[in-house]
Structure 1
Amino acid sequence: MRVSRKTFRLFYQGAVLLSVLMIAPLTWVWLASSGHRVVADSSPGWMAEVPEAPVALVLGAGIAGENPSPMLARRLDISAELYRAGKVRAILLSGDNGRVGYDEPTVMHDYLLARGVPGRALVLDYAGFDTWDSCVRARTVFGAHRLTVVTQVFHLPRAVTLCRTAGVEAFGVGDDSSKRWVSTYALAAREFFASAKGLLDSVVLDSDPVFPGPRETSLDAALQSG
């Protein structure tokens, strides 16, 4: 069956529009976070590029029993480096504790405690179910207005952009060692869909987190003690 030129043109225009819509969220997070992120690589100079902030926000990334996943461990290691370098005074550990026997924030807390970060500097957010929830709760529940978010490089543009869209002056530090893990490629591909969800949650719907409150003072106390 012969396809008319008009039908072909409409099909082509639809394909172009679909492609634009698919890459628009990724373009948004990359442009919105430009100039507000740095890669924590093996070079000694990356730390100098990180501005001082009251808080480091570490986003959960999976646990196995009482141990953080390799990606989460790297995020925690970087947050400890930031704390020791005086770049942050407190660390907000935001993760999933939505089911019995799975407690990301406590595992994160214990990991850092075992590595010499004092307990008074650690604050736990048990309802960081996704990046948008963690960013909104950092501001509305814990009162953070300026922070450094710590994650992997592939996730960094989205994390920084969502925190800034949530009203937080955010800078980001991304771990690049995750490229050694095969699973990272699947996670990087997931960013296409996750960025679209982030755009929908933050800009289109301005969604509330799963647990929006009440206001907590634990971060205030940690900053005062630091």
Structure 2
Amino acid sequence: MIKKILRICLILIACIALFSAAVNIYTVCYAAPYVFTSRSELKKAAADNGGYTALVLGAMVHGNRLSTVLQDRVDEGIDCYNEGIKDGFCTALLLSGDHGKKWYDEVNAMRLYVLRNNPNIDRTRIFLDHAGFDTYDSLYRAREIFKAEKLIVITQKFHAYRAVYIGRKSGLEVYALALSEDKYADRLRFAWALREYLARVKAFADTAVQRKPRFLGEPIPVSGSGLKTWDIFEDK
């Protein structure tokens, strides 16, 4: 009896492992044609299109100080917007992150960093998504709340495939600018890879059922003014 139970448990574990591996392979293969490591390559792939929103996905902050991971994303977001605004390729900057608590605020930390490093930016083109609690929520809300149809997702490479997969499966035209991870410690990159392996399975399930985010709200289209999304206007 015990051997039979053990055999069943092993079969179940093997099935779960195979399913997880299949989901990861499928996610990466599906998203790979839309993931790029340079803006020039990305613009060639989307040569006939314009009007993209640069979506910067949140990460850890310490007060108003960005983690290195998030700073890399925001720096690329600024450059992507500045380059794209000249020819209409990129027309808005959407900063999406966790602002679920008063004492923890990824989006305003990103906003302040953008204003400090690009003081002449048109503030009406900066949109804040305070309820981007995870990647799925950020992409879903980009579609439903901000009415974005075309997105350039900016994140590290390990994360880019999942973001593109979620966006494309949700009916959005999504490309990703995948940032290099080479400067990060192997220990950290291994932890990211392990977490991402599991997160892709969750994303597969979320997109399959089109799970609704924790918060939605009234639409604030990226075609309008981003100032409607600001809860703080100070630059400090």
Query: Where on the TM-score scale, by shorter chain, does this alignment land: which range?
Result: 0.7 to 0.9
Quick one: which amino acid aligns to residue 188 of structure 2? S
8 Å contact from structure 2 (residues 156, 179) kept in 1: yes
Distance in 2, Cα, partners of 1:140 & 1:47: 25
User: How many residue pairs get matched?
Assistant: 213
The correspondence for 1:150, drawn from 148, 151, 154, is 154
SS state of the match for residue 141, structure 2?
helix
Write the deviation string for residues 133-163 of structure 1: whole angstroms up to 9, x where unpaired: 0001000001001111111000010001001
C-alpha distance 17-76 of structure 1, shift in aligned 2 (>3 A): same
8 Å contact from structure 1 (residues 90, 222) kept in 2: no
8 Å contact from structure 1 (residues 71, 178) kept in 2: no
Normalised by the size of structure 1, how large is the TM-score?
0.85
C-alpha distance 91-187 of structure 1, shift in aligned 2 (>3 A): same
**Structure 1 residue 169, shift from structure 2 partner:** 0.8
- Of 126-135 and 24-33, the range deviating more from structure 2: 24-33
Aligned match of 1:25: 23
Distance in 2, Cα, partners of 1:135 & 1:79: 16
8 Å contact from structure 1 (residues 151, 174) kept in 2: yes
User: What fraction of aligned residue pairs are identical, expressed as a percent?
Assistant: 30
Aligned match of 2:233: none
| Structural mapping, 1:1-226, within 5 Å | 16-40=14-38, 46=41, 48-49=43-44, 51=46, 52-86=50-84, 87-116=89-118, 117-177=121-181, 179-181=183-185, 182-203=187-208, 205-217=209-221, 219-222=222-225
Normalised by the size of structure 2, how large is the TM-score?
0.81
Q: What is the alpha-carbon root mean square deviation over aligned residues?
A: 2.4
Instruction: Give structure 1 stretches of 5+ with no counterpart.
Output: none
Instruction: Give structure 2 stretches of 5+ with no counterpart.
Output: 227-236
**Structure 1 residue 118, shift from structure 2 partner:** 3.2
SS state of the match for residue 191, structure 1?
helix
**Structure 1 residue 108, shift from structure 2 partner:** 0.7
SS state of the match for residue 99, structure 1?
coil
